[in-house]
Amino acid sequence: MNAKILTIANQKGGVGKTTTSVTLGSALAREGRKVLLLDLDPHACATLHARIFPEEVSESLYDIFLADEAAWPLLWPQVIRPGALQGMDMAPGHIRLSELEVDFRERRAKGAVLAQSLAKLKERYDFIILDCPPHAGILLVNALVAADLLIIPIQTDFLALHGLKLLFDTLHILNKVLPAPIRYRAVPTMYDRRAKACTRVLELMRQKMGGAVFQTVISVDTHFREASARGCSIYDIDARSRGALGYASLAQEVQDLW
């Protein structure tokens, strides 16, 4: 195995980043893929979804970022929770991730720390999924630098298109210094075919981004909220629901890229 790193990011909150991270990971795991989910958001929503609570976390991704390279092989097994969420292994987030901007002030090559540390794990997984915070900063930069594919969940709402512009501004800056441009695909989320505004935004996305938009469209589905409340995946509630089928389709599209 040589894991493909999928970075789930958009510089706007509430567009379905954590839902995409958790459900896409679950869909890939259901197909027999070995998946690791990293929660890079200081709010740790994916970690809480997995019923891992702050008081139970002694080692987290924060410790990985602070450690030097020699410590990573011993530290990763302490951080990773095997099978924590629907057949996926998980590296929990922590509120202290928000301190990295200060902690990394003097750190050299600080944007490549995550990519270097994940190199120690790539032979153990098929896919490593990075659930990112919505704001630009050292965590998002590390996730983008590490990415084999950036997946951008975009809510089919006009306001969500603004977050896309912010993310592209960040990509433009990074692509100037990286050896190769960051590969990306957008996935439309929270789509309601009854709403003309949703249909119009979807049309605009396809016009402006062309082949950089997945064919899969993720529909509004109340089962996502229920899955979050119960600490499980949508596949445990209704594997034939619109949302479940949508992410199963997305998982197939992602695998077809390699």
* Share of the chain residues as helix, strand and coil, in percent rounded to the nearest 5: 50, 15, 35
Element (H, E) at 102: helix 100-103
What integer pLDDT is reported at residue 153 of this predicted model? 92
- Distance between start and end Cα atoms, the chain: 13
Predicted confidence at residue 163, as pLDDT, reads: 65
Work out the mean pLDDT of the chain and round it to a whole number.
92
Q: Of the candidates 84, 79, 1, 87, which has an alpha carbon nearest to the alpha carbon of residue 40?
A: 79
- Given this model, what pLDDT does residue 87 score? 85
Helix (H, G, I), strand (E, B) or coil at 74: helix
Amino acid at 111: G
Are the CB atoms for 209 and 219 separated by under 8 Å?
no
Q: Which helix (H) or strand (E) holds 190?
A: none
Question: If you ran DSSP here, which 8-state letter would residue 111 be given?
Answer: G
Tell me the pLDDT tens digit for each residue of 190-239: 999 889 889 998 998 898 888 899 999 999 999 999 999 999 999 999 99
Pick the CATH number of 4-256 from 1.20.190.20, 3.40.50.300, 3.20.20.80, 1.10.10.10: 3.40.50.300
pLDDT of residue 37: 98
**pLDDT tens per residue, range 121-138:** 999 999 999 999 988 799
pLDDT by residue for the chain (258 residues), tens only, comes to 799 999 999 877 777 889 999 999 999 999 999 999 999 999 999 999 999 998 889 999 999 999 999 999 999 999 999 998 878 999 999 999 999 999 998 888 899 999 999 998 999 999 999 999 988 799 999 999 999 999 999 888 877 777 677 778 888 888 998 889 999 999 999 999 889 889 998 998 898 888 899 999 999 999 999 999 999 999 999 999 999 999 999 999 999 999
Give me the pLDDT at residue 140, please.
Answer: 92
